[in-house]
Structure 1
Amino acid sequence: MRTGDLDEARHRVGQKFCDHRLDITQRHSGLAVRHNHVAGQYSSINYLHYGADVTIDPGMLGSFYLLQIPLSGHANIRHRGDDILANATSATLLNPDRETTMRWSSDCRKLLLQIDRDHLETAAQQLIGTELPGPIRFASHVDLHSKGGRRIRQMVWACAQAAEAGLLFKGPLRGSDIRVEQELALALLTDIPSNISHIIDRADHGSLPKRIRAAVDYIHENLSNPIQLVDIATHAGMNIRTLQKGFRRTFGQSPMQVLRNTRLDAAHYQLMAHREKPDVTTAAFSNGFSHLGRFARDYKARFGHLPSETGRGQHPG
């Protein structure tokens, strides 16, 4: 989106985020708004520049978290009672249930990561293995020189570059998109301090062994291909028996069960899409299912409804 009109900027940016108040600080200054936006099912990557000193009042975001990484210029952010100067070394993370006011300088350009609140809470519950004690609230200030800050900045920047190259959130949603959205949510939870950081630290979830990770990577990269157990074992550099034991120990499932469930999750993700939603046959075949009857049976067993019923009132995820 490109515009110099204040009302259009307020309306169109609001469509992607939420209703907000937008005002030009210097009455006679001209806007030169540029907003690039690409979205998956639960998150979006954005570039935003107003081209003038502006004040922004979104109130409470409500349904999403918003990580704002300045690329140039600065912004004064008030959130959760904190006053933060955001610049090249300091990002901000806005929580959905706390009010925010912002003042952006005319040369302020930001990279924004928006993540759905329910999706993040689901990822957190899976990470800690139990129900959350309450809403997740992150520290508002993100030090981009810290280990976690550097890592999250690099990850969001890599996602923006992938989106520019047409490799992320482009066309029908794919298994690779699912994985990126999962990793973005986990990165926020593990790299940025929050009120559940101590619970995450106590949860004994060490990183996957290198060869098991290689096997999982191979599965995600080949959802549409007719792969067999021996293919997974060969790619991971393991014999079949060791692979099976490793998956049982790590996931409580066989490698082929993990493959099937990952394919089902990818198909479900695509069928829940709000845009460019595939038909059931396409979702099945694009994720490695060649038998539609078996696909429907396994899908219903995993999600409680048939593929053709997906999206009729179900909550995403």
Structure 2
Amino acid sequence: MSGRSLMPVNGSSVHDPARQSPPFWETAFSGTDPDALSEILSTPNSPIKAEAKADAPIAYRCNFVATEELAIADCAYEGTISIRREAPSGKVIIFLPMEGDALFDAGKEHIHSVPGRGAILGAGRVSGARLLGPRRHLGLFIDQARINRHLTQMFERTIIGDTDFRPSIDLTTGPGLVLQQLAANLHYGLSGDGPLLQSPLALSALCDATIYLLLETCPHRYSEALALPAPAPAPRHVKWAIEFMQEYIAEPISLNDIATAAKVSVRTLQQGFRQFRDTTPMAYLHELRMLAAHRDLLESGTRQAVADVAVRWGFTHLGRFSAEYRKRFGQLPSQALKR
């Protein structure tokens, strides 16, 4: 199981400004010490503990490549290794085995992963694994926030929370086979002086293709909604209303203000949002403000108090704000502030 924040190659990104390539990182590790493996696989917000069975000898070799879009690891292990993630990682992690056995703990399910059978672990869950070497797999790491941005574009409404992918995936045929091939091509194309480093447009297209393949072919909580016919484009007055909300998001605007900006009656505005956004105008504005507060908390570190952020975005009841924030983002505002 992997999830390390990668350092740029040779201490600096291999980004070439002349090519306007995206930032890129590559790093590799090998060794026999379980504690060193724990450090390699951990991130500051999601520590991992690796242990060898009965102190028996182990060995590992891990190569990580990453862009701003996603990260891929090619990892090989010898011996029996237990791995436990002690806090959610914020990433959807897909394991694509090439050799050996592994048993993943995916909450209520235990996934037996062998060549031809992959595992998808959700971003919001603490998870563990038992690797039975010799074991080799590709690990694909995608930020849940990035997946949600793709879903937001597909639905034309804000998506938050875990996607809840079905944790087991068949890699022998169809979408699973294509996913494994995409991951292998991405890793090869980014390793060393790979060809994808010379073509940022091709790299971006392959990363997008990987995420859309997951969303459109692997079952998850939004699969049924994605299978429905796409709704008609939102009318102009709904778009004008949203633009007005975004421009004056921190101002005390009312439903009448929004309707006036959209050049329609309040009733027409409400009907438009129910039909094309599956919500009400004020609930949509509330969601925009909650997301703005979420971004503020993540970006401000400890420089601001939670109460100051809440008030800035119109949340005057701190207890209610904290409860709703936890329901939406899976943690208290104070926890997000310390990340």
TM-score by length of 1: 0.59
Q: CA RMSD in A?
A: 2.4
- The answer on 1:185 being equivalent to 2:200 is no
For residues 200 and 133 of structure 1, the distance between their equivalents in structure 2, rounded to whole angstroms, comes to 16
Going from structure 1 to structure 2, the CA distance change for 1:168 and 1:17 (only over 3 Å counts) comes to farther
Deviations 1:117-144, CA, capped at 9 Å, x for gaps: 1111101111233233753110011111
For residues 109 and 9 of structure 1, the distance between their equivalents in structure 2, rounded to whole angstroms, comes to 15
Q: After TM superposition, give the deviation of residue 49 of structure 1 in Å.
A: 1.8
| Percent of aligned pairs sharing the same letter | 16
Q: Which has the higher mean CA deviation after the structures are superposed, 145-154 or 42-51? A: 145-154
Q: After TM superposition, give the deviation of residue 60 of structure 1 in Å.
A: 4.0
- The answer on 1:123 being equivalent to 2:150 is yes
Q: Which residue of structure 1 lines up, in the alignment, with residue 166 of structure 2?
A: 139
Deviations 1:15-50, CA, capped at 9 Å, x for gaps: 4994111100131x2222100000000310111122
Contact persistence 1:60–1:98 (CA under 8 A): yes
Q: Which residue of structure 1 lines up, in the alignment, with residue 59 of structure 2?
A: 32
- The answer on 1:77 being equivalent to 2:83 is no
- The answer on 1:5 being equivalent to 2:26 is no
Q: Which residue of structure 2 lines up, in the alignment, with residue 91 of structure 1?
A: 118
Q: After TM superposition, give the deviation of residue 93 of structure 1 in Å.
A: 0.4
The residue identity in structure 2 corresponding to 1:175 is: L
For residues 131 and 188 of structure 2, the distance between their equivalents in structure 1, rounded to whole angstroms, comes to 24
Q: Which residue of structure 2 lines up, in the alignment, with residue 21 of structure 1?
A: 49
Q: After TM superposition, give the deviation of residue 90 of structure 1 in Å.
A: 0.9
TM-score by length of 2: 0.55
Q: Which residue of structure 1 lines up, in the alignment, with residue 128 of structure 2?
A: 101
The alignment covers a number of residue pairs equal to 203
Q: Which residue of structure 1 lines up, in the alignment, with residue 181 of structure 2?
A: 154
For residues 73 and 17 of structure 1, the distance between their equivalents in structure 2, rounded to whole angstroms, comes to 29
Going from structure 1 to structure 2, the CA distance change for 1:92 and 1:17 (only over 3 Å counts) comes to farther
Q: After TM superposition, give the deviation of residue 179 of structure 1 in Å.
A: 2.4
Q: SS of the counterpart of 2:42?
A: helix
Q: SS of the counterpart of 2:163?
A: coil
Going from structure 1 to structure 2, the CA distance change for 1:64 and 1:166 (only over 3 Å counts) comes to same
Q: After TM superposition, give the deviation of residue 102 of structure 1 in Å.
A: 0.8
For residues 145 and 196 of structure 2, the distance between their equivalents in structure 1, rounded to whole angstroms, comes to 20
Q: After TM superposition, give the deviation of residue 13 of structure 1 in Å.
A: 2.1
Q: SS of the counterpart of 1:26?
A: helix
Contact persistence 2:147–2:211 (CA under 8 A): yes
For residues 162 and 105 of structure 1, the distance between their equivalents in structure 2, rounded to whole angstroms, comes to 29
For residues 71 and 82 of structure 1, the distance between their equivalents in structure 2, rounded to whole angstroms, comes to 22
Deviations 1:145-194, CA, capped at 9 Å, x for gaps: 342211211211221221236336649x9333322222221121112110
Return the match for 1:204 from 230, 234, 240.
230
Q: SS of the counterpart of 1:179?
A: helix
Q: Which of structures 1 and 2 has the larger relative contact order (alpha carbons within 8 angstroms, sep 6+)?
A: 1
Q: SS of the counterpart of 2:148?
A: helix
Q: Which residue of structure 1 lines up, in the alignment, with residue 294 of structure 2?
A: none
Q: After TM superposition, give the deviation of residue 70 of structure 1 in Å.
A: 0.9
Going from structure 1 to structure 2, the CA distance change for 1:60 and 1:141 (only over 3 Å counts) comes to farther
For residues 185 and 42 of structure 2, the distance between their equivalents in structure 1, rounded to whole angstroms, comes to 25
Deviations 1:87-125, CA, capped at 9 Å, x for gaps: 012100000112212100011111010001111110111
Structure 2: any 5+ residue segments left out of the alignment? 1-28, 232-339
For residues 119 and 145 of structure 2, the distance between their equivalents in structure 1, rounded to whole angstroms, comes to 20
Structure 1 residues 207-286: aligned runs within 5 Å: none
Going from structure 1 to structure 2, the CA distance change for 1:45 and 1:200 (only over 3 Å counts) comes to same
Contact persistence 2:35–2:51 (CA under 8 A): no
Q: After TM superposition, give the deviation of residue 78 of structure 1 in Å.
A: 1.4
Deviations 1:265-288, CA, capped at 9 Å, x for gaps: xxxxxxxxxxxxxxxxxxxxxxxx
For residues 175 and 93 of structure 1, the distance between their equivalents in structure 2, rounded to whole angstroms, comes to 27
For residues 178 and 168 of structure 1, the distance between their equivalents in structure 2, rounded to whole angstroms, comes to 13
For residues 211 and 58 of structure 2, the distance between their equivalents in structure 1, rounded to whole angstroms, comes to 33
For residues 86 and 95 of structure 2, the distance between their equivalents in structure 1, rounded to whole angstroms, comes to 16
The residue identity in structure 2 corresponding to 1:108 is: R
The residue identity in structure 1 corresponding to 2:203 is: D
Q: Which residue of structure 2 lines up, in the alignment, with residue 51 of structure 1?
A: 78
Contact persistence 1:26–1:53 (CA under 8 A): no
Q: Which residue of structure 2 lines up, in the alignment, with residue 65 of structure 1?
A: 92
